[in-house]
Amino acid sequence: MKKLIYLFIGLLMLLSICPNSNGTEINNEISKEGSITVLCSPDLYNLTNRWVEEYGKLNQNLKIKVLKIGHNSVDNAYSSDFNVGLVSESSLYLLEKPTNLSLIVGRDILVPIMNTNNPLKIEIFTHGISSGKLAGFFKSQGDHNWGSLLNIESNLPIHYYKSDNDEISSTVEEFLKMNGIAIEGINVANNQEVIASVQKDIYSIAFCRVTDVIDPMNNGMLENITLLPIDRNGNGKMDSFEQIFDDLNTFSRGVWIGKHAKELISNIYAVSNESIDNGKEKEFIKWMLTDGQQFLSSNGYSDLILSERLSKLDVLYNDQIIPNAIENLNYGRQKVGLFILIIVTIIGLIVGSTFYFKRQKSTEKPTLISKPIGYFDAKSINVPNGLFFDKTHTWVYMEMDGVLRIGINDFITRITGNLTGIKMKNPGEEIRKGDTIITLMQNGKQLNIKSPVSGIISQQNEKLITNAAIINECPYSEGWIYVIEPTNWFREIQFLFMAEKFKKWLISEFTRLKDFLSQTQNMPLVLQEGGELKEAVLADHRPEVWEDFQSNFIDTAL
């Protein structure tokens, strides 16, 4: 029963970030007065008008004027009287004058797709398709078959479907570096016909907007449609950092942290050339990042994942997480719609979780390569975007279904050196923020790491039990430690850092580390000229030193 309650809470969090297909009117506590002039690039005119219309319904005393600016005169518009600009990436680079504010509020994302029932699906996901291979395929005059594309023995044909959408065609040609060579394929009437053709033809591929292949009923992929995996480095295999094409949740996070081909992404920016305080302009941009996200998909654009929205709000409010801004991520659904979405989501979670857990049972282990010991400083610590960080030197990532995936950051593993074992808690155990969540071990010496959040452990990374050094090699991917159902997330998130703020905090933490090491007996402080510390600095020291590090460094950070 307890688990069911936590699952229900997670579902409510999930629903708070899902688009509202009914466009239900949202309650707003403060009705704004005055006027705003919004500048937009031509390709964003429809989206801008929709946002202005919806925001105007909530603020009927606020007058909003929209100016559409041509690509060749965007910068000139900055001499006119306007408050907020909505500019696509193709127009942003034309702005010669610096902007006081530039925030991503949405994206136009193209993806390659294939039929789910392709008989070579396993080979395709093993090798991936590089842009170079695909370009060579289109440039060749011979038979177009999967064998030549994958470097395998196969004569199965490839059917490439396309429409007369010039915007998609030009983006694909840029991605493939076709240098003006038109891409030949099977022409159909429009984008909808492209997708319908791929659904029917098991040998087909195509490019389309990712929003066009999302099923509005379950926010998953349309029937018989699968994302075609891109081998970005062209080495003929899908490396771990390229594996973002299994599902939409993984793909969306991959887009944010830069794992999707940049040529296939066009960001939408909210910009301003004047300083905005806590007035109507900032409130409008905040609305774009919260309630306004639901209107992106109907205009063909992709919304931002929850973590990225919070990151942008963090910047908008000068590195402060505003609790009511977080609460505004809930779109205020009607009761009937909420009930239906909960039922649909429960079914999707059961099916999705079954697939996910089966995949996690794989016994395949990454090959760990012994690296020579080097030096490190605060700037060399890997701090990827898209995660929350805690003073316990742990990271947190919220999955689409509301559960939290947590792990150890790069800082601790650079100090300990390769781990030889761990002690983990079991699924079903309840933990509170600040409790010991995992014990890291190295040849009998150990450190206790505290939990950044409260919740119930729903899954542990079983691979770590037999191969703890995965945490050293892949702390932010294969080295995750638990999946947790949170019990106090909306309060505890306020104590976590986003990436940029955590990097600043690490500078003081690195200074504190050097102070600790310099005061420890029989422990010479080995520094490079630039102030870098020797990696694995604790590795060769006795358990007493590890105990001092636990009590005088790890525990005092809380």
From 231, 259, 287, the end of a domain falls on 259
Could you tell me if 94 and 133 lie in one domain? no
Q: Which pTM value belongs to this model?
A: 0.60
Could you tell me if 413 and 548 lie in one domain? yes
Q: How many domains does the chain have?
A: 3
CA dist., res. 253 & res. 351, Å (int): 21
Taking residue 537's Cβ as centre, other Cβ atoms within 10 Å add up to: 23
Taking residue 526's Cβ as centre, other Cβ atoms within 10 Å add up to: 12
CA dist., res. 529 & res. 223, Å (int): 59
Is 216's pLDDT higher than 80? yes
Is 30's pLDDT higher than 70? no
- Residue 500 located in a structural domain: yes
State the CATH number of the domain containing residue 216.
3.40.190.10
What the block records as the tokens of 73 is 């005169």
Question: Is residue 206 very low, low, confident or very high in pLDDT (cuts 50, 70, 90)?
Answer: very high
Is 250's pLDDT higher than 90? no
Is 541's pLDDT higher than 60? yes
Could you tell me if 529 and 446 lie in one domain? yes
Could you tell me if 139 and 158 lie in one domain? yes
Beta carbons of 88 and 266 less than 8 angstroms apart: yes
Is 462's pLDDT higher than 80? yes
The pLDDT score that the predictor gives to residue 534 is 80
Could you tell me if 401 and 503 lie in one domain? yes
DSSP 8-state symbol, 221? B
What the block records as the tokens of 174 is 């840029």
Could you tell me if 158 and 63 lie in one domain? no
Question: Is residue 14 very low, low, confident or very high in pLDDT (cuts 50, 70, 90)?
Answer: very low
Could you tell me if 151 and 180 lie in one domain? yes
The pLDDT score that the predictor gives to residue 94 is 57
Amino acid at 183: I
Beta carbons of 464 and 419 less than 8 angstroms apart: no
From 330, 353, 377, the end of a domain falls on 330
* Region 484-494 average pLDDT: 88
Largest CA distance in the chain: 76
Could you tell me if 497 and 453 lie in one domain? yes
Sign of the torsion formed by the C-alpha atoms of 307, 309, 313 and 315: positive
CA 9 to chain centre: 22
- Residue 458 located in a structural domain: yes
- Residue 228 located in a structural domain: yes
Question: Is residue 353 very low, low, confident or very high in pLDDT (cuts 50, 70, 90)?
Answer: very low
pLDDT tens digits, residue range 108-131? 999 999 999 999 999 999 999 999
Is 167's pLDDT higher than 50? yes
Amino acid at 18: C
Beta carbons of 270 and 103 less than 8 angstroms apart: yes
Beta carbons of 394 and 409 less than 8 angstroms apart: yes
3 state SS for 343-362 = HHHHHHHHHHHHHHHHHHCC
Q: Give me the sheet containing 404-408, strands edge to edge.
A: 388-389, 394-398, 404-408, 482-486, 455-460, 430-431
State the CATH number of the domain containing residue 541.
2.40.50.100
- Residue 425 located in a structural domain: yes
pLDDT tens digits, residue range 264-308? 999 999 988 666 665 888 899 999 999 999 999 999 999 998 878
Question: Is residue 344 very low, low, confident or very high in pLDDT (cuts 50, 70, 90)?
Answer: very low
The pLDDT > 90 percentage for the chain reads 44
E strand or H helix at 2: helix 2-15
Question: Is residue 238 very low, low, confident or very high in pLDDT (cuts 50, 70, 90)?
Answer: very high
From 236, 259, 282, the end of a domain falls on 259
DSSP 8-state symbol, 257? T
The pLDDT > 70 percentage for the chain reads 77
Is 520's pLDDT higher than 90? no
Q: Which residues of 430-447 are buried (b: 16+ CB within 10 A; e: fewer)?
A: ebebeeebbebbbeebbb
Q: What is the mean pLDDT of the chain?
A: 80
Could you tell me if 279 and 241 lie in one domain? no
Is 235's pLDDT higher than 70? yes
- Residue 212 located in a structural domain: yes
End-to-end CA distance of the chain: 33
The pLDDT score that the predictor gives to residue 98 is 54
* Long-range contacts formed by 497-502: CB under 8 A, 24+ apart: 497/388, 497/389, 497/390, 498/310, 498/311, 498/314, 498/319, 498/388, 498/389, 499/311, 499/383, 499/384, 499/385, 499/386, 499/387, 499/389, 500/319, 501/314, 501/319, 502/383, 502/389
**In this structure, are strands 84-88 and 430-431 parallel, antiparallel, or unpaired?**
unpaired
The pLDDT score that the predictor gives to residue 365 is 37
Beta carbons of 114 and 205 less than 8 angstroms apart: yes
Please provide residue 187's backbone torsions phi and psi, each rounded to the nearest 5 degrees. Answer: -80, 135
Coil, helix or strand for 225? strand
- Residue 7 located in a structural domain: no
What the block records as the tokens of 37 is 């002039």
DSSP string over 443-455 = TTEEEEEE-SS-E
- Residue 4 located in a structural domain: no
CA dist., res. 497 & res. 500, Å (int): 8
Could you tell me if 129 and 191 lie in one domain? yes
Amino acid at 548: D
Question: Is residue 509 very low, low, confident or very high in pLDDT (cuts 50, 70, 90)?
Answer: confident
Could you tell me if 323 and 406 lie in one domain? no
- Residue 54 located in a structural domain: yes
Could you tell me if 87 and 119 lie in one domain? no
CA dist., res. 317 & res. 289, Å (int): 12
What the block records as the tokens of 510 is 């690195």
Domain residue limits at 92: 20-100+273-330
